[in-house]
Chains A and B, each alone.
Chain A
Amino acid sequence: MTATRRFTDTFVVVLAMLAVWQVLHLIAGSTALPAPLPTLTYLLHNVTTDRFATNAAATIEAFFFALLLAYAVGLAIGVWMGAHRLSGAVGEPILVALYSLPKIVLYPVLLLIFGLGISGKVAFGALHGILPVALLTTGAIRAIPPVYLRAARTLQLTPWQTIRTVLLPAALPEVFTGLRIGFTVTLLGVLLGEMFASKAGLGSMIMTDMSLAQSEDMVTVAILLFAFAAVANGILLWIEHRLHRRV
Chain B
Amino acid sequence: MSVASLPSREIHAQLEAVTRVFPAAPGAGAQPPVHALGPVDLDLRKGEFFAVVGPSGCGKSTFLEVLAGLQKPTAGTVTFEGKVVNGEVADGIGVVFQEDASFPWLTVWDNAAFGLRRNGVAAAEIRRRVDDTLAFMGLKDFARAYPSQLSGGMRQRVCIARTLVLQPRLILLDEPFGALDAQTRLLMGDEVLRLWRRTGASVLLITHALDEAAMLADRVGAMSARPGRFIEVIDTGWPRERDSTIVGEAAFGEITARLWERLRGESLKALGHAGADSMAAE
Contact = CB atoms under 8 A, between A and B. Distances in A.
The judgment on whether A and B are partners is yes
Interface of A: 1-2
Contacts of A1: 27
B24 interface: no
Nearest to A5: B27
A2 B27 CA distance: 8
B28 interface: yes
B25 to A, nearest CB: 11
The size class of the interface chain B forms with chain A is under 10
Nearest to B29: A2
A15 to B, nearest CB: 24
The 3 closest A-B pairs by CB, nearest first: A2-B27, A2-B28, A1-B27
A2 B28 CA distance: 8
Nearest to B27: A2
Contacts of B27: 1-2
A6 to B, nearest CB: 12
A71 B27 CA distance: 47
Q: Specify the main secondary structure of chain B where it touches its partner.
A: loop
A1 B28 CA distance: 10
A202 to B, nearest CB: 45
A11 B27 CA distance: 21
A3 to B, nearest CB: 11
Interface string B1-31: 0000000000000000000000000011000
B259 to A, nearest CB: 39
B29 to A, nearest CB: 8
A165 B27 CA distance: 47
Contacts of B28: 2
3 contacts: A1-B27, A2-B27, A2-B28
A1 B29 CA distance: 11
B30 to A, nearest CB: 10
A166 B28 CA distance: 45
Interface in B22-66: 27-28
A2 B30 CA distance: 10
B16 to A, nearest CB: 39
B31 to A, nearest CB: 14
A1 B27 CA distance: 8
Contacts of A2: 27-28
A95 B28 CA distance: 51
A7 to B, nearest CB: 15
A1 B25 CA distance: 11
A142 B95 CA distance: 41
A2 B26 CA distance: 11
Nearest to A1: B27
Interface in B209-246: none
A1 B30 CA distance: 10
B26 to A, nearest CB: 11
Nearest to B28: A2
A46 B146 CA distance: 62
A161 B27 CA distance: 52
B112 to A, nearest CB: 37
